[in-house]
Structure formats: C-alpha cells, structure tokens
Homo-oligomer: A and B are copies of this chain.
Amino acid sequence: MANNFKYYSPTEVIFGKDSERETGKQLKRLGASRVLLVFGGNSARNSGLLDKVRCSLKEEGISFSELEGIVPNPRLDKVYEGIRIGKAENVDFLLAIGGGSAIDTAKAIAYGLAEPEHDVWELFQHVRIAEKCLPVASILTIAAAGSETSKGCVITNEKTGEKRAYDDNLARPKISIMNPEYTKSLPDYQTESGCVDIMMHTMERYFTNGGNLEITDAIAEALLRTVMKNAVVLHENPGNLDARSEIMWAGSLAHNDLTGCGNDGGDFMTHKLEHEIGGMFDVTHGAGLAAVWPSWARYVYKDCLHRFVRFARNVMDITLEGTDEEVAEAGIYAMEQFYGNIGMPTNMRELGIRPSNDQILDIANRCMIASGNHTGSAKKLNLDDAVEIYKNAR
C-alpha cells in the first residue's frame, strides 16, 4: 500500500556536451545580474571550466564575485565568508561549480543572504525555518550528492564537529548544467564513492516498513542496477564517457525524490550514522556510507525482511533457494562484495579509521540528537542500536 505523497522537482536540467557554454544565457534568462561563484579551486581552474564560465557570464553582461576553497564536508566558516562577500557585492544569484560541497555551500549562503538578520546556522540547528532563499544554480562536476536537484543541504560546523542537514524546497537549484566530461578528472576513489552515495540515496528510500508504490520500487531497482553496472565500467575504465553520463544522471534521479514517491519517507539512518563519522573524521562521504551500510543492514534486516528479500532478488540477482533470512543475508553479502570490487571499504577499518569506544558513544549520541524522532523505517534505532552498529562496523 502506498502513502500519499508530494513530488516537486522543478530544477531545469541542461545535460551533455558543451552544456556549460549556456551558463550566461541561462542565468540571464533567470534574472541573475550579480552572481557569486562558489567552487573548490584547482579542479575548476585546471579543467578550464572556470574560465569558460567567467567568459559566458561576461558575454551576457552579468557581473560576478568568487568564493574559492570549498572542501568536502563543506564548512560553516566558508558559508559565513560567502555571506560577507555576498552582502558587500549585493549578490542576487548563487552559482556553484563542483559537487555537493560547492552546491550545499551555495545553498547555505543563499539562505543567509535572503535573511541577513538571522544566523544561518539556526536553520541547521532546526530552531527556525527559512522564509526566503536567493536563487541557486549549479554546474555539476562531481556526480554523487544529488544536491543539484534536491532540497537538501548539509553543512559541517567545524567548531563543534556537527554535520547537520537542512531541507527546504526554497533552495532547490533553478537550473543545473551537467557535462559529464568534467567528471573525468575525478580520482577513482571519489568516482566510486559517488556511486555508493547515489545508490544509498535510492536504498535509503527503498528499505522501509511503511509501504511504497510498485512503480517507485521498479524505478529504484532499475536505477541501482544501472549504477552498479556503470560503477564497475568506470573502475576499469575511468575515461568511459557513456558510463559517466549514466552515473551523472542517475545521481540526480536518485535524490530528486523520484525514488521515494509513495513511501513513508524512507529510512536514512545509514546517512545519519555516516554524517557523524564524517563530522568527526572527515572521511569521503560515499566511502563512509559503504563502511557503515553492511553493519546497519545486518543489524536491521530481520525487522524489514520482505524488503531485503526483494532487494536480494531484484537488485542483487540472488537466485538462492532458501529461507527469507538466507536470501536477505545473501543480498547483503553480495552488496558487500560489490563494494569491495569497486575499491570501496565495507567497514571502518578499511575506511582507515578506528574510533574508540568513547568516540563511538559520542557519535552515537550526536546521531540520535541530529535524528530527532526520525530514527529509521527499516528499524527504528535507539542509542544502544547506534552504538552496536558502529561497533560492528569497526
């Protein structure tokens, strides 16, 4: 049985070769006049993309400022820096160039500039909700986060070690320009981490005890199989542009809510467990997800058995005849093998970290606080569960 749902994914997508050349024209059409570019640095510069974007904006008479130096697990201090620049330069439009970190930073700055009388971090502390947000656009160069079409935004407060999410349709990018060519320079580890993140955005919505639409399940399974196939292609041949196109578009579809229509909101505990690891250890997000998922899955699958069986059959191609438990376990094992095959960790040791018991209690506590009442659908987790899952992943 499916639940009522709302679906809203208004972001315009311009996909393919040379699409970045449309940047100026498209932003002008959307009313931009003073843009803040938000990006990491080396990659956008070395690929020539930054220069192309600058030219494209100049050609349309759009003025711009720049905020450089965005890093993975994007930081609140850069958000504040962007807000300062944006105020000084009277910015009316944000353009992120990069992946989820650049886009999320741009979204957070857009919130901050639209309501300059408030501290933007309050949104991430969930003590108020946003009333306004400046328009955001992105030129995607890392397929993974899905932030280019999503309402999500995740920022790390480097002072407190908190990694926090704030979701609102106000921040959905107006337009996202995607040329898969620009993902080619990404190291394999980052590419494969991206693939895991894309898959997890789908799986978080898939493992639910609260019902779903068949068509949503079928689309989710189609997406997972396509991403797995192309993740293997890219592990062997990173330059395969067709595979990069598949992964890039899958990344958007996995996180624009399409794969959640009719479900109960999904589980999302793997993401929340990983967020705290990311906040404390600064690991690559997708790799962190791969490291914690098998432990999560083995801890919860008996409470969501029908979905794990379906997953094993329809996604992992498990043909084993056996009990539901055996089929579900075979599916989890097969996913673990897959992570290994594409060079991803399947526990924290392989991720390169070894949190102490105290650290685990600390991040488990933080995870519970950040989760509020939403502590899972496959199984509702409490503090002890979170501690157990972290320990089993160690």
Task: Give A contacts to B, CB under 8 Å.
Answer: 1-10, 12-19, 213-216, 218-219, 221-223, 225-227, 229-230, 242, 245-246, 249-250, 253, 258, 261-262
Within 8 Å by CB of A16, from B4, B229, B245, lies B4
| In contact, B13 and A7 (Cβ under 8 angstroms) | yes
Chain B residue nearest to A230 (CB atoms) is B214
Determine the residue in chain B with the shortest Cβ distance to A226.
Answer: B215
Residues of B within 8 A of A3 (CB): 16
A373–B330 Cα distance when bound, in Å, is: 53
Closest 3 CB pairs of A and B: A4-B16, A218-B222, A10-B10
Q: Given A6-B13, A9-B10, A214-B229, 18 other A-B contacts at CB below 8 A?
A: A2-B242, A2-B245, A5-B15, A6-B12, A7-B13, A9-B9, A10-B12, A15-B262, A215-B226, A215-B227, A215-B249, A215-B253, A216-B249, A218-B223, A245-B262, A249-B261, A249-B262, A258-B258
CB proximity of A65 to chain B, nearest CB, Å: 28
Residues of B within 8 A of A218 (CB): 222-223, 225-226
Residues of B within 8 A of A18 (CB): 4
Residue pair A15, B19 in contact (C-beta under 8 Å): no
Chain B residues closer than 8 Å to A8, beta-carbon distance: 12-13
Closest residue of B by beta carbon distance from A224: B218
A321: shortest Cβ distance to chain B, in Å? 20
Q: Check A4–B10 contact: CB distance below 8 A.
A: no
How many copies the complex holds: the figure is: 2
Interface pair B16/A215, CB less than 8 Å apart? no
Q: Smallest CB–CB gap between A50 and chain B, Å?
A: 22
Asked if B17 and A245 make an inter-chain contact with CB atoms under 8 angstroms apart, the answer reads no
Which residues of chain B have C-beta atoms less than 8 A from A6's C-beta? 12-15
Which B residue's beta carbon lies closest to that of A215? B226
Which residues from chain B contact A223 at a C-beta distance below 8 Å? 215, 218-219
Could you list 5 A-B pairs, sorted by A, with CB under 8 Å?
A2-B245, A6-B12, A218-B226, A219-B219, A219-B253
CA–CA, A5 and B14, complex, Å: 6
Interchain CA distance A261-B245 in the complex, whole Å:
11
Contact A226/B214 with A13-B7, A15-B6 known, Cβ cut-off 8 Å: yes
Contact of A214 among B10, B14, B213, B246 (CB under 8 A): B246
User: With a CB–CB cut-off of 8 A, which chain B residues contact A253?
Assistant: 215, 219
A222, closest chain B residue (CB): B218
A225 to B218, CA, bound (A): 9
Report B-chain residues with C-beta under 8 Å of the C-beta of A13.
Answer: 5-8
**Chain B residues closer than 8 Å to A245, beta-carbon distance:** 2, 213, 262
Query: Is B2 a contact of A250 with CB atoms below 8 Å?
Result: no
Chain B residues near A2 (CB-CB < 8 A)? 16, 242, 245
B10 close to A16 (CB less than 8 A): no
User: Which residues of B sit under 8 angstroms from A1, Cβ to Cβ?
Assistant: 242
